[in-house]
Structure 1
């Protein structure tokens, strides 16, 4: 699979038409952050079943449940080959229901499907009503082998998470985070080197009373054996070292072997690594898991991925993180929290929407609970909400915003709530004329000793075809074919592929810079969250999300890391490129010019 990605990169270099930045809402080359999709407490156990390792479909997972689940989630991963190939994947549950997902590459918008990188798909589905006590079977098939299909279609894994009742087992509090981050080094995207080194996810409001054990389970896709990568829990590195090195010890969590990070032989699982860590001694009320592609152990400014002592992965995809805390006794009771209060279109005299998220950290209430929104201390709306089995409910109410500054609150009330301190969320905002976002680009600043290890140069059509042929024919393998095999492959390709004019892919000697950006809101209302898009020499290299938005009259500094060869380059920056915010003057939402990147 890794050499297939090498081939994909060469194809991108050969055909500039393939350099379109993803348009789909749920495809992002750089990755889709892990976020908590289900949480709560069950009077029983949370059980994880899985089949791991890249294989041809059909791909099956059989397992047995002690009782019908209170909640369940099924996941599968599919390798597309590139983000340009399309196809489908079917998930069949107990031969009762078949769910088909269209895999549309960089045009994907399915909200149960996460795609990133060069066509790595992670699919999530709720099968709760289809699973039963006793034996169950999940089967995944894809369009691999179908006439006209180009999608690779091999399957990385099937994972089932089930929360089941067992009154005699005590309680289990759990969090399930899903996504598809693409952690990668320089030179794995387009013509300009970029990198994405780490990502994290936080599990809040852990109940520690009566705790007997805490486990963290993580699943990584596309990692390579022998290339180190790291997982931290609350700042502490997890796993046993694979070789002697300075602190922190070198670990290879994504080493194509599951269940071996804490020792033992584990189970071979090509390009899919499930690991379980005992974090009982590290758990706290708020817990953060961090995934790290690699570390610059020798201090030379780069993370080497080759040689006698690699420092990191070329690329790796964290897609799943599960934290469970088992407790003695009867669990934690009901614990509902109101969080994430925000406002959309909150401009003077206009129809706004107030939104809050209700999260269950304990045993869910038996019936509906009231959620009350108030503006400046006066009740605006009370809505009865049934907390779904995922433990997460998003509640929205309308509001006609009056001019001025306001304090908005959203509160949830549940009988016998064990933690009333987290029942209310608040938000201060200013409503006036619509926001007016503008952006300014500062002078690039070189960052230390950061000469990139990536060197790309023009190839003739002949050798470009040869390289693509070798890599595509041997995708999924780590070693190149013999010269005789290479010659045969090349001859076959030359018969079917016309000569290709190959442009210069990228300049050599790329260095790391910080591009300082400054965004100002000159309007009369606070701006909600927005995205800052950055282009370098016509190619989109970054999309920085500012979730907190920007208050009326405020300015924020946004440093953007850039990898490029020294010299003069065209830079364009666009704020709210999607037009999601009602902006009083979109003409100043972008800035563009040629900037000197010093050597």
Structure 2
């Protein structure tokens, strides 16, 4: 599930002037790209993979929920003139020992079939945690149809559970008609859980310039792959509680 949160409060906006700056922050629960990936029970910490400014913006879409294979997602009104575009796919393994595969077709382009090996996975674009919770990324800038709807179809097979836990498209685009924005894209496949007491993750966003007084607006996007009923997971920003039951989209009024 993808959620976006307005994280500039009204009392801060009163200090704005004509040169207000815009922040766009994206937290995508995928893993930091490294030379090779592997299984980790508690998952992979969130890290910033892209931080810059752009005259344009950040586009995030997808996340309509869990579904069976084949699974189709249509991303609407995708912008043109892209600097970055990555497609993220979540797959449920069921157990960390089960093996299988995932195949993705994006706008008619076959993005290859990837083996999912659980404990023994070494694919650089595959990150596996917990009971076989897979998060896979694909760089798709060359395949995005800017100005149009874009379609991803995901098929799974093998001995894994095979349900698709959602998919998301994240792009950074240029548009001279928009204002300058500072943005962060963070990735990580965190398995917050009570068994190992790995139940909290903190991410810091260091600004390139400016201060809180020059903010015009700010948006935080988050994506959750899993959540349990009656578990009071929370999301806070600068010590302000903005969501309870965050994995299911719960929002604090005024948060």
Is TM > 0.5 for Structure 1 vs Structure 2? yes
Q: How far apart, in 2, do the equivalents of 1:93 and 1:82 lie?
A: 28
Q: How far apart, in 2, do the equivalents of 1:47 and 1:29 lie?
A: 31
Q: How far apart, in 2, do the equivalents of 1:218 and 1:206 lie?
A: 22
2:154 pairs with one of 116, 121, 140: 140
Q: 1:139 to 1:208 in 2, by over 3 A?
A: farther
Higher relative contact order (CA 8 A, sep 6+): 2
Q: How far apart, in 1, do the equivalents of 2:240 and 2:63 lie?
A: 28
1:230 pairs with one of 203, 228, 234: 234
Q: How far apart, in 2, do the equivalents of 1:36 and 1:113 lie?
A: 17
1:217 pairs with one of 221, 225, 237: 221
Q: 1:65 to 1:221 in 2, by over 3 A?
A: closer
Task: Name structure 1 gaps, 5 residues minimum.
Answer: 1-23, 144-148, 187-193, 240-250, 264-276, 279-599
- Work out whether 1:185 is the aligned partner of 2:194: yes
Q: 1:207 to 1:141 in 2, by over 3 A?
A: farther
For 2:60, the equivalent position in structure 1 comes to: 48
TM superposition shift of 1:206: 4.4
1:72 pairs with one of 82, 85, 102: 85
- Runs of 4+ in structure 1 deviating by more than 4 angstroms, as ranges, are none
Q: Is the 2:128–2:134 contact (alpha carbons within 8 Å) kept by the matching residues of 1?
A: yes
1:96 pairs with one of 78, 90, 109: 109
Q: How far apart, in 1, do the equivalents of 2:252 and 2:113 lie?
A: 37
Q: How far apart, in 2, do the equivalents of 1:177 and 1:238 lie?
A: 19
2:128 pairs with one of 115, 121, 128: 115
1:157 pairs with one of 148, 166, 171: 166
The 3-state SS of whatever aligns with 2:217 is: strand
Q: Is the 1:68–1:132 contact (alpha carbons within 8 Å) kept by the matching residues of 2?
A: no
Q: How far apart, in 1, do the equivalents of 2:162 and 2:122 lie?
A: 19
- Work out whether 1:252 is the aligned partner of 2:242: no
Q: How far apart, in 1, do the equivalents of 2:139 and 2:86 lie?
A: 5
- Work out whether 1:32 is the aligned partner of 2:44: yes
Q: How far apart, in 1, do the equivalents of 2:252 and 2:112 lie?
A: 36
TM normalised by structure 2 equals 0.78
2:198 pairs with one of 196, 199, 209: 196
Q: How far apart, in 2, do the equivalents of 1:196 and 1:65 lie?
A: 36
Q: How far apart, in 2, do the equivalents of 1:150 and 1:262 lie?
A: 40
The 3-state SS of whatever aligns with 2:142 is: helix
TM superposition shift of 1:139: 1.6
Aligned residue pairs total 216
Q: How far apart, in 2, do the equivalents of 1:70 and 1:138 lie?
A: 20
| CA deviation profile, 1:520-544 (whole Å, cap 9, x unmatched) | xxxxxxxxxxxxxxxxxxxxxxxxx
**Higher Cα Rg, which structure:** 1
1:126 pairs with one of 123, 139, 147: 139
Q: Give the alignment's Cα RMSD to 1 decimal.
A: 2.0
TM superposition shift of 1:25: 4.8
TM superposition shift of 1:262: 4.2
Q: How far apart, in 2, do the equivalents of 1:212 and 1:230 lie?
A: 26
| CA deviation profile, 1:248-289 (whole Å, cap 9, x unmatched) | xxx21123xx4x4245xxxxxxxxxxxxx97xxxxxxxxxxx
Q: 1:162 to 1:58 in 2, by over 3 A?
A: same
| CA deviation profile, 1:532-578 (whole Å, cap 9, x unmatched) | xxxxxxxxxxxxxxxxxxxxxxxxxxxxxxxxxxxxxxxxxxxxxxx
Q: Is the 1:41–1:174 contact (alpha carbons within 8 Å) kept by the matching residues of 2?
A: yes
Q: Is the 2:102–2:113 contact (alpha carbons within 8 Å) kept by the matching residues of 1?
A: yes
The 3-state SS of whatever aligns with 1:54 is: coil
The 3-state SS of whatever aligns with 1:106 is: helix
Q: How far apart, in 2, do the equivalents of 1:211 and 1:195 lie?
A: 36
Q: 1:151 to 1:171 in 2, by over 3 A?
A: same
- Following superposition of structure 1 onto structure 2, how do residues 293-304 of structure 1 map, counting pairs within 5 Å? none
Q: How far apart, in 1, do the equivalents of 2:59 and 2:109 lie?
A: 22
